[in-house]
Amino acid sequence: MKRLSLLLALAGLSVAALNAQEDSPTEISFRLYGNALYLKSERVPRYYRAKPRPFEFIGFTPAFSVRNAGSRTVHEVEASFHWRNETVEMDRAREREFGFRYELGSYLEGNLFKIIRVRLGGGLLLYYYDGRVEPLTTTRFPRDLKSGGFLLSFIPHFELPLGQRFFADFNASVFSIGVGIEHSYIHHPLFTERQRDQTSIAYDLGVNRFLRLGLGVRL
């Protein structure tokens, strides 16, 4: 599935480059990001018993951005789908995450070192998480996990040209804050319904630190 997503994104990148037109009044760009967490960042949404690592690659995501002629303001949208199927502390976890990020930013006047374009702005991530945990022992019981919410981040971008249309985009979240609703249901036959069904509100302040390295093309 990961290979198929990557191949489809690369195909879109190639088609976009072939169909690019020279004198468009609006700058439209396509990016393919590689995403990672750093400095033992926590995942948002939270995964079942996930342990923060110094560096963790989490997959590829496609994004489109639009900038009107004569303006430094940029609108960018990004879609994400991540999953995990693995054994975690005697439990088999199956987890899926869907996300949609909107970014509003602006290019600074002039270039860094006369070549790197700098863009500053904020992003809003809407996410939904669905998980199922199956224990590998008879002393534990299955658990269903769901969560949804939003994450606000400040994200500086640094773009390095790779020719007339292609460019590399390196960006990272500097600060983030989020709110989500987490729901769990434990299939324990001796629990009451209230004990099985639990819902809570989660607050995340500065715990989600991500890096993205993207290859982009201007259409």
* H or E element, residue 57: strand 55-68
Bridge partners (DSSP) of residue 211 are 36, 172
Q: Tens of pLDDT along 114-170?
A: 999 999 999 999 999 999 999 998 888 999 999 999 999 999 999 999 999 999 999
Q: Which residue has the higher pLDDT, 153 or 16?
A: 153
Each residue's pLDDT tens digit, 94-128: 999 999 999 999 999 999 999 999 999 999 999 99
- Given a contact cutoff of 8 angstroms between Cβ atoms, the answer to whether 78 and 62 are in contact is yes
Is 11's pLDDT higher than 60? no
Provide, for the chain, the percentages of residues in helix, strand and coil under a 3-state DSSP scheme, each rounded to the nearest 5: 10, 60, 30
Triad 121, 124, 112: Cα angle to 5°: 20
pLDDT tops 70 at residue 69 = yes
R_g over Cα of the chain: 20
Give me the percent of the chain exceeding a pLDDT of 70: 89
Closest CA to 112 of 154, 144, 159: 159
Domain residue spans in the chain? 2-218
Q: Please give the Cα distance from 95 to 104 (Å, whole number).
A: 30
pLDDT grade, residue 16 (50/70/90)? very low
Residue pair 142/133 in contact (Cβ under 8 Å)? The answer is yes
CA dist., res. 157 & res. 89, Å (int)? 38
When the pLDDT of each residue in the chain is averaged and rounded to a whole number, the result is: 88
Q: Identify any residues that bridge with 166 across adjacent strands, giving them in sequence order.
A: 217
What is the CATH code of the structural domain delimited by 2-218?
2.40.160.20
Q: Answer yes or no: is pLDDT of 10 > 90.
A: no
Q: pLDDT-based confidence at 45, cuts 50/70/90?
A: confident
How does pLDDT run across 182-219, given as a tens digit for each residue?
Answer: 999 999 999 999 999 999 999 888 778 899 999 999 98
Q: Is the pLDDT of residue 172 over 60?
A: yes
pLDDT for residue 18 is more than 60? no
Q: What's the pTM value of the predicted model, to 2 decimals?
A: 0.82
pLDDT of residue 72: 94
